[in-house]
Structures are given as C-alpha cells and as structure tokens.
C-alpha cells in the first residue's frame, strides 16, 4: 500500500513537471488562440510595410508555431480586395484605410462606398518625399517643371503627393506627371533616372540603394514653422502632422529631417471580424514584440503603448480594445475618440445608403455617381 502511494506520487510529480515544461515552451505560454495558418495583405516587396509584416510573421512562427503567408500588392485596391473578399485574415495597410472608410477617391465608386473598417494596432510612422541629388531639387517648390511619380489605383500615395505639391504652392499642372504600375516601381524609377520625386517611407530598402547609387538621395523637407504651407497641405490631407524623423536612409538623430507623420502600417479588419480573433491578434502582437522589435529601427513603435492608441484612420476593434484595456493602455480619451469616429462613420454609411437609393430612383449613371455621392457626403457631414 505504501509502495502504491509512492508510485502514484512519482507519476503525478513527473506529469506535473512535464506540464510545466510544456507551459514554458514557445507558443504554449502565450496562450494565443489564433488559426495555425493565416494570410495577410500588405505593401509590395521592398517596402517598409512588407519588411515589417515579414518580421512580425517570423516572430509569430518562432513563438506561436504559426505559418503566415504575405500577399503583397503595389496598389490600394490590390491590398483591399483580398480583405473585402475574405481571402486574408487582415491587412497591413496605409491610408487606403482612411479613404475606404470615408468613401473617397477610388472608394467613391458605386462598387465601394464607405467601408466599415477597424484597427487592431496602428504603427506611428512618417511619410516622406524623396528626390535625387542629381536632380538638383532642394525644396518642394523646386519640383516645378520636374517629373513627379503617380501610381494609378493608389490614392493613399497620390493624395499625399497632392498634399506635398500644395505645400510647395504647386499642383499637378505645375509638374510632369509620370505614371508607374506600383509603389516599388515608382521608387526604383528614382535610381533608374525615370522620375525626379516619389512618395515613400524613409526606411524603405530601395531608399538605401538610392543613397549609395550614382544619383544619390535627397529628402525634401516640410518645416513645421511654415504655417502657410502646412495650411495648404491640410486642406488636402488633414491626417498629416509635423514630425522630426531620425530613422531612415541618410537620416540619424544627428541628421534628422522634417517630414509629415501618419500611421503605417495599420493592422486592419472589418467591423464584423470575430472579437476573440481581434483580442488574440493584439495579444500576439504584444507577446511576440521582443522577437521583432529589433528587426529594424522602426519596429519599436509597434509597442502597444504607441500603436494601441488613437488617432488612426478608422476606429479600433472592440476585441483589440478589450486587450488594450487589460494592459492599461486604453484610456477614457482614447474611448472618446473611438466613439466619435464610430458616430462619424455611421453618418457616412447612412448617407451612402441614401445615395444608392437615389441612384436607383433617379437612374444615375455610374460615371456621374461619384460626383453625386461626394455632394451627398458633404451635405451629411455638414449636418
């Protein structure tokens, strides 16, 4: 009888130790409940967004045993379509989130309209205007008469260029518009001498190539004390704000540049995304942070204290908010911002329903619908 008790105690002890070892294993201790495999849409290869998504996917693989496949695209529509169709779990997106949520630019068409999007986390970033030393351009105003990149189907990039030109007191009529099929192509064109200025991220890998190339790299700056220039820019892109960037090609804390800031990339889903998935995605991002934070100088800003608070281009998802509250990140001010943004989006969505009804009733042609919708949108927001 004594031997039996000792044997049972030994078995229980061994099982307890085995369980403790399992709980300490990578992936087990995180207790993150996400699918074993996922697909994420993101910017194309060579972009900062692709690099960041890749680093995070690698961290998920190492700690959580997950398999992540990236679906890159060089256009806003190309990144949104898989999300809308349910072909990806989430998107690592940029300001196409804002345009899609607002029903603007390419998303003002009858096929789109205001999309009910939500954030999981939103990485603070800067957006910049790159040119070459060979071009001789030194200021935004100096772009007059020069070649400027334009990417059809990419309003997130083109509207920033609209705003940048406005900063210099210019419009597209003052420059030579050169079209490229993708974001990456517009950056590579700087090295190839096919364009003089492109919108980009300071940490994009191609910018380091440009810096060491024969053409050289120069960042056009946006001084915060030029109030008139910023006022012109804000009329086009109110989501931009002054920022001093210290990370990127040819940039350091000793050699910073003034460049507008926004959020990129933003982990984006639709509002109907399962709340448990959103909660666990935020949790996974937080618990794998130590594995990806050193992948690049921009990665530390994925810390949830920076990426888990507004403003962003759409409201935060309720599931993500639940995790952020547990971690003490989500504040009353953040909730007030989120509530206001939700109310704003409901107003737009109601206006969109009205616009579609009017389209049917008045038999408005699709070519005329965009103008019709933007008028109804402006009236709804004015109320």
Question: For residues 6 and 28, what is the distance between their CA atoms, to the nearest angstrom?
Answer: 30
CA distances from 84 to 120, 234, 376 (A): 16, 29, 24
pTM recorded for the entire structure: 0.77
pLDDT score of 78: 93
Q: What is the spatial distance between Cα 306 and Cα 235, in angstroms, rounded to a whole number?
A: 27
What per-residue confidence (pLDDT) applies to 183? 92
Distance CA 332, CA 334 (A): 5
CA dist 119 to 88, 278, 357, Å?
15, 9, 30
Q: What pLDDT is recorded for position 344?
A: 94
What is residue 30's predicted lDDT score, i.e. its pLDDT?
A: 47
Residues 115/270, Cβ–Cβ less than 8 Å: yes
**pLDDT tens by residue, the chain, 383 residues:** 444 444 444 444 444 444 444 444 443 444 899 999 999 999 999 888 999 999 999 999 999 999 999 999 988 899 999 999 999 999 999 999 999 999 998 899 999 999 999 999 999 989 999 999 999 999 999 999 999 999 998 888 999 999 999 999 999 999 999 999 999 999 999 999 999 999 998 988 999 999 999 999 999 999 999 999 999 998 888 788 889 999 999 999 999 999 998 999 999 999 999 999 999 999 999 999 999 999 998 899 999 999 999 989 999 999 999 999 999 999 999 999 999 999 999 999 999 999 999 988 888 888 899 999 999 999 999 98
- Residue in the structure block whose two tokens are 């509002």: 271
Q: Which residues on adjacent β-strands are paired with residue 68?
A: 38
Asked if 67 and 37 count as a contact pair (C-beta separation under 8 A), the reply is yes
């Amino acid at each position: 009888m004594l031997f039996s008790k000792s044997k049972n105690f030994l078995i229980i002890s061994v099982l307890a130790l085995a369980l403790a070892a399992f709980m300490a294993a990578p992936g087990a201790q995180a207790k993150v409940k996400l699918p074993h495999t996922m697909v994420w849409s993101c910017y194309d290869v060579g972009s900062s967004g692709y690099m960041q998504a890749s680093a995070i996917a690698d961290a998920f693989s190492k700690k959580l045993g997950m398999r992540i496949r990236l679906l890159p695209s060089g256009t806003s529509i190309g990144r949104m379509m898989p999300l809308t169709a349910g072909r990806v779990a989430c998107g690592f997106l940029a300001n196409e989130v804002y345009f899609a949520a607002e029903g603007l630019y390419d998303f003002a068409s009858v096929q789109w309209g205001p999309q009910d999007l939500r954030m999981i986390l939103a990485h603070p970033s800067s957006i910049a205007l790159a040119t070459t030393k060979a071009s001789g351009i030194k200021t935004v105003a100096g772009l007059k008469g020069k070649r400027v990149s334009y990417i059809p189907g990419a309003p997130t990039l083109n509207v920033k260029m609209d705003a940048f030109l406005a900063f210099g007191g210019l419009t597209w009529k003052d420059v030579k518009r050169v079209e490229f099929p993708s974001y990456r192509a517009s950056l590579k064109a700087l090295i190839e001498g096919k364009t003089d200025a492109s919108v980009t991220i300071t940490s994009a890998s191609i910018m380091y190539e440009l810096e060491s190339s024969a053409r050289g790299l120069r960042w056009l700056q946006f001084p915060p004390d030029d109030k008139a220039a910023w006022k012109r820019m804000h009329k086009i892109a109110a989501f931009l704000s002054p920022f001093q960037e210290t990370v990127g090609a040819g940039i350091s804390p000793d050699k910073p540049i003034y460049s507008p800031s926004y959020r990129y990339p933003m982990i984006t889903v639709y509002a109907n995304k399962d709340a448990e998935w959103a909660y666990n995605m935020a949790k996974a991002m937080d618990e794998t942070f130590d594995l990806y934070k050193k992948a690049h100088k921009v990665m530390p800003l994925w810390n949830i204290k920076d990426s888990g608070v507004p403003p962003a281009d759409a409201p935060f998802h309720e599931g993500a908010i639940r995790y952020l509250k547990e971690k003490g990140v989500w504040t009353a001010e953040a909730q007030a911002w989120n509530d206001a943004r939700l109310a704003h989006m409901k107003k737009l969505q109601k206006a969109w329903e009205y616009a579609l009804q009017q389209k049917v009733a008045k038999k408005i042609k699709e070519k005329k619908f965009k103008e019709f919708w933007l008028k109804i949108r402006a009236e709804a927001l004015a109320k």
